[in-house]
């Protein structure tokens, strides 16, 4: 399906909502791999309101928040499909991939940082085809630039830590790009991984032992929802005072 055809299809579905709402409100499925965020929800509701749709009046919304538990996304996506939602709004690559795997007929609108072609969300950027389209922020491709920013903040040749979530499908590419950037800039890169709170503590303990001079935290919903220094890093006041950190 071409982009214009997709938009026409989605517009046709939306056009029927006010009439259908008299009997039963149409349902939007909202799938997110992170935690409930008031700022994101505010923008989402504002966008709907500008189109004339108000939750509880003309539409209903089924929210699904994975809170960094990527293994739950396929189940959540399948549940939305089972509930026969009119459209799925998927935020971030893991959510969009799960939604795409769950249905080939329900329209999917995504907002992702990874390459939508690489992850099979669309056939191409010019001609998405299929049942999905959306916005790509290309944030995954900024990894080298962010390493460069940290390079300006730390001592020459300093050891840099890179914290990544192995459960995130973007992680292999992120690590590869970070390693290439670190080598080019003359830094040793210490990669630590975590997908649980306990593993975050262990990762920071490893960073302390490695005597890192800076830290890059990979773009990830699990980390974003836990932007508080764990006990291990708070106990190490020396590292806390002198370490620069970049949250991607």
**Over 50: is that where the pLDDT of 85 sits?**
yes
Average of per-residue pLDDT across 104-122: 90
More reliable by pLDDT, 41 or 110: 110
Question: Model confidence at 126, in pLDDT bands (50, 70, 90)?
Answer: confident
- Please say whether the beta carbons of 185 and 216 come within 8 A: no
pLDDT at 242: 47
pLDDT at 141: 61
- Please say whether the beta carbons of 101 and 76 come within 8 A: no
User: For the chain, what is the total number of helices (H) and then of strands (E)?
Assistant: 10, 9
13 closest CA partner among 53, 63, 46, 43: 53
Domain ranges of the chain: 3-137, 141-247
pLDDT at 4: 52
More reliable by pLDDT, 138 or 14: 138
CATH number 3.40.50.2300 given to 3-137? yes
- Paired tokens of 226: 């836990």
**Over 50: is that where the pLDDT of 235 sits?**
no
Average of per-residue pLDDT across 198-207: 92
Question: Model confidence at 199, in pLDDT bands (50, 70, 90)?
Answer: very high
pLDDT at 229: 52
pLDDT at 191: 96
pLDDT at 18: 44
**Over 60: is that where the pLDDT of 23 sits?**
no
pLDDT at 157: 84
- Paired tokens of 28: 């939007």
pLDDT at 152: 86
- Please say whether the beta carbons of 64 and 76 come within 8 A: yes
Question: Model confidence at 236, in pLDDT bands (50, 70, 90)?
Answer: very low
- Provide the sign of the torsion angle of the four alpha carbons 93, 114, 120, 14, taken in this order: positive
Which of the following CATH numbers is that of domain 141-247: 3.30.420.40, 2.60.120.620, 3.40.50.620, 3.40.50.2300? 3.40.50.2300
Return the beta strands (E) in the chain as ranges.
27-32, 60-65, 87-91, 108-112, 132-136, 160-164, 189-193, 214-217, 244-247
Mean pLDDT estimate for the chain: 81
Determine how β-strand 132-136 pairs with β-strand 189-193: unpaired
The yes-or-no answer to whether 3-137 and 141-247 have a common fold is yes
141 closest CA partner among 101, 189, 99, 93: 93
| Torsion angle defined by CA atoms of residues 3, 140, 68 and 82, in that order, rounded to the nearest 10 degrees | 10
């Amino acid at each position: 399906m071409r982009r214009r055809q997709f938009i026409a299809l989605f517009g046709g579905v939306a056009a029927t909502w006010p009439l259908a709402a008299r009997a039963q409100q149409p349902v939007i499925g909202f799938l997110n791999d992170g935690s409930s965020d008031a700022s994101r929800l505010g923008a989402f509701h504002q966008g709907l309101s500008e189109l004339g749709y108000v939750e509880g009046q003309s539409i209903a919304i089924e929210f699904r928040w994975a809170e960094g538990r990527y293994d739950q996304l396929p189940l959540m996506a399948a549940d939305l499909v089972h509930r026969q939602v009119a459209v799925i709004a998927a935020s971030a690559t893991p959510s969009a991939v799960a939604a795409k795997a769950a249905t080939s007929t329900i329209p999917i609108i995504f907002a992702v940082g990874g390459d939508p072609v690489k992850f099979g969300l669309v056939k191409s950027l010019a001609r998405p085809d299929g049942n999905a389209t959306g916005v790509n922020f290309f944030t995954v491709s900024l990894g080298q630039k962010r390493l460069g920013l940290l390079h300006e903040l730390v001592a020459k040749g300093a050891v840099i830590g890179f914290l990544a979530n192995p459960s995130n499908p973007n992680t292999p590419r992120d690590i590869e790009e970070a390693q290439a950037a670190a080598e080019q800039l003359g830094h040793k890169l210490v990669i630590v991984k975590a997908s649980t709170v306990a593993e975050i503590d262990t990762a920071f303990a490893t960073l302390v032992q490695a005597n890192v001079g800076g830290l890059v935290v990979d773009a990830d919903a699990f980390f974003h929802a836990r932007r508080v220094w764990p006990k291990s890093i708070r106990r190490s006041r020396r590292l806390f005072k002198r370490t620069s950190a970049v949250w991607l």
